[in-house]
Structure formats: C-alpha cells, structure tokens
Amino acid sequence: MADCIFCQIVRGERSAYKVYEDSDTLAFLDIFPLVEGHTLVIPKAHCERLQDLHPDLTAKVAHAVRAVTEKLEKALGAPATTIGINNGKAAGQVVPHLHIHILPRYENDGGGTIHSVVRTTTQRSLEEICHLIAKAR
C-alpha cells in the first residue's frame, strides 16, 4: 500500500535498521525501542492482521520470527524474549501492517508478562466459552 509506512520500508523508500530479510519477510529495529533490540518482523506483502495474511506465508513469517529470536538472544546475550502482536486497533495496533514484536528479556528487567496485558472480569464459564470458540467458522 502506497501510504503504509512499513510498505515504504519494504520498498526502500523509508529507512530502517534491518536485521533479517528473506524473499517474503523483513525484520527491522523498532524506531522507539522498549528495550535494546526491540525488533519488528513483517511479511513484505501488505496485510493488516494475522488472519489477513496469505496462508502460504504463515509458515514463512513463523520461520522469520524464530530466526530473528535466535539472532537477538545470541547477539545481545538475552536469556529470553517476549513475542507478541497487537492484532487489531482495539488491541493497540497503530501501524496497520501486520508486525510481530520481539522484545529481548532479562531476569529482573522490571518488565511484565503476557498476563499483564489485560485482565477483565469473566462472566461465562470456561465450558461455555470453549463451546463458542470451537463451533466458530
């Protein structure tokens, strides 16, 4: 997409510190890092959310996430990583081009876990929710 900033990075029209690239994916440093090495992995083809990704690219993106995670941990001596997607506006997605955040993590770095992202009161039982999800098409 012409006005998408991550598509502009893919086309070389906007600069970025690239840390990994293959035929279908690209990874570059987040311009406002939450931690040293905060990296974004994207499919080169524009799509907004994970479920918009062409099915043929799912494994390619997963491969890139894995490769970048290995590189980050080795390069920075990080013993762990937090990996996540703000998958849609309501989840905090600002740039509407699918991107996977990879954050190097360290013991006692003061950061939270996935469990600190949201916590709302649950009304329905696990059984009810499980049934709803399982039958969704």
> Of 32 and 55, which CB lies nearer to ligand 5GP in the complex structure?
32
> Where on the chain is the footprint of ligand 5GP (CB under 6 A)?
5, 16, 28-32, 86, 92-95
> Of 31 and 62, which CB lies nearer to ligand 5GP in the complex structure?
31
Under DSSP, is residue 11 helix (H, G, I), strand (E, B) or coil? coil
Closest separation in Å from C-beta 4 to Zn ion? 3
Site string for Zn ion, 42-71 (x = CB under 5 A): ----x-------------------------
Helices (H), 11-137: 55-76, 126-135
Residues in the chain: 137
CA distance 124 to 12: 48
CA distance 30 to 10: 14
Active site residues: 99
